[in-house]
Amino acid sequence: MLKVGIIGATGYAGEELIKLLLNHPQVKITLLQGLVEKSTPIENIFKNLRSRTDLLCTNLDLEQIISKVDLVFLALPHKVSMEIVPTLLKHNKRVIDLSADFRLKDPLVYEKWYQIKHVCPQFINEAVYGLPELYRSYIKKTNLIANPGCYPTSIILGLAPLIKNSKINLDQIIVDSKSGITGAGRMPTPKTHFPNCYENFSAYGIFSHRHTPEIDQELSFLACKEVKIVFTPHLLPINRGILSTIYVDLKNSMSQQQLLEIYINFYKKEPYIRILKEGELPQIKDVAHTNYCDLGIFLDKNRKKVLIISCIDNLIKGASGQAVQNMNIMYDYKESSAL
């Protein structure tokens, strides 16, 4: 059995990781750590885990991690993971980091957007961006996964087939994304406080959302040239889910069937991508609590415009489910195990 630990077990992503990994036939959770006043049974924090596990959640202790686990999931806030990753790698632990600390390949870009100096830039190039549909062969071999952000996952998966096949103009990609409130994390803010978000719908992070450079980076890698999108996130008054609506211009005319075939061929071996039939609309309720990404592709033939709708669960395919999918690839387990 693979011994795994979850650091940051008391957050939304940590909770989802626990629930998923308890169902994994080849994994044993041997350590849970988080921000707690004292050692506490995890079932006292998450009542839905009653009778499922007797694990305790303790405060961060690197010596315990090193002695008890083979693989560590870091479900920590941005800026924290980079403080402990060097020690874990030094002791030959494999790491799947759900924060942004190793996603951006240029440490100066990270420092600009996260307003803090990166303390271990030497590991940035070692990290593999954990989007299985694009980097599966690299994921198999690495010891450090930078698990993608939720918005970037929905957007990159929606655009990758058209960019990789050079079918669209790259200078005017517009993305309008909406996320459930869990995307903001467990700590409440005035914006996510129930009376403020209930029966409300609002944009935020205009030209300043921290996922922007991550999206631009990965789309630029696909295009082999610089890509900068216009990205506007919105907060939905629901618990979970992301719906991204993406607007692009085709270079040349094509039929709806030709357009769909590009997506079908690109993702034909991918177990968690579902290309919807012509005219079908993705919706959050169809992907909630799953690791699927549903894609709907729509063509305005007269104007050579394409509209892509991408739906994921921000906590599963956008975080913990994708992390488990990456673990399965790293250890050559069945990719759908626990998912």
**Tokens standing for residue 239:** 């618990």
What three-state secondary structure class fits 29? strand
Question: 31 Cβ partners below 8 Å, 6+ apart?
Answer: 4, 5, 6, 64, 65, 68, 69
**Tokens standing for residue 207:** 């030209």
The pLDDT of residue 183 is 87
Of the candidates 57, 150, 293, 311, the residue annotated as catalytic is: 150
The pLDDT of residue 324 is 98
Q: Locate tokens 């750590």: which residue? A: 33
Q: Looking at residue 250, what DSSP letter applies?
A: B
The pLDDT of residue 314 is 98
Contacts by residues 165-170 (CB-CB < 8 Å, ≥ 24 positions apart): 165/262, 165/266, 166/251, 167/250, 167/251, 167/252, 167/254, 167/262, 168/248, 168/249, 168/250, 168/251, 168/306, 169/248, 169/249, 169/250, 169/251, 170/219, 170/223, 170/225, 170/227
Give every residue of the chain whose pLDDT is below 50, as ranges: none
The pLDDT of residue 186 is 79
Q: Amino acid identity, residue 57?
A: C
Report how far Cα 36 is from the mean position of its chain's Cα atoms.
25
Q: CA distances (Å), 138 to each of 71, 93, 127, 327, in order?
A: 17, 17, 10, 12
CATH of domain 2-126: 3.40.50.720
Question: Which among 250, 261, 263 has a CA at the least distance from the CA of 301?
Answer: 250
pLDDT tens for 186-206 read 777 877 878 888 889 999 999
**What span, in angstroms and rounded, lies between the C-alpha atoms of 235 and 26?**
37
The pLDDT of residue 65 is 95
Superfamily of domain 150-314: Dihydrodipicolinate Reductase; domain 2 (3.30.360.10)
Q: CA distances (Å), 274 to each of 184, 280, 294, in order?
A: 26, 11, 5
Any catalytic annotation for residue 224?
no
Against a cut of 0.85, is the pTM above it? yes
The pLDDT of residue 1 is 96
pLDDT tens for 72-118 read 999 999 899 999 999 999 999 999 999 999 999 999 999 999 999 99
Q: Locate tokens 């655009």: which residue? A: 159
DSSP characters for 284-325?
GGGTTTSS-EEEEEEEEGGGTEEEEEEEE-TTIIIIIHHHHH
**What span, in angstroms and rounded, lies between the C-alpha atoms of 20 and 316?**
9
**Tokens standing for residue 323:** 């992390």
- Entry field: residues in the chain: 339
**What span, in angstroms and rounded, lies between the C-alpha atoms of 119 and 294?**
37
The domain ranges of the chain are: 2-126, 150-314
DSSP E strands in the chain: the ranges are 2-7, 27-33, 40-41, 56-58, 71-74, 94-97, 128-129, 144-146, 174-179, 202-203, 230-235, 242-249, 273-275, 293-300, 305-312
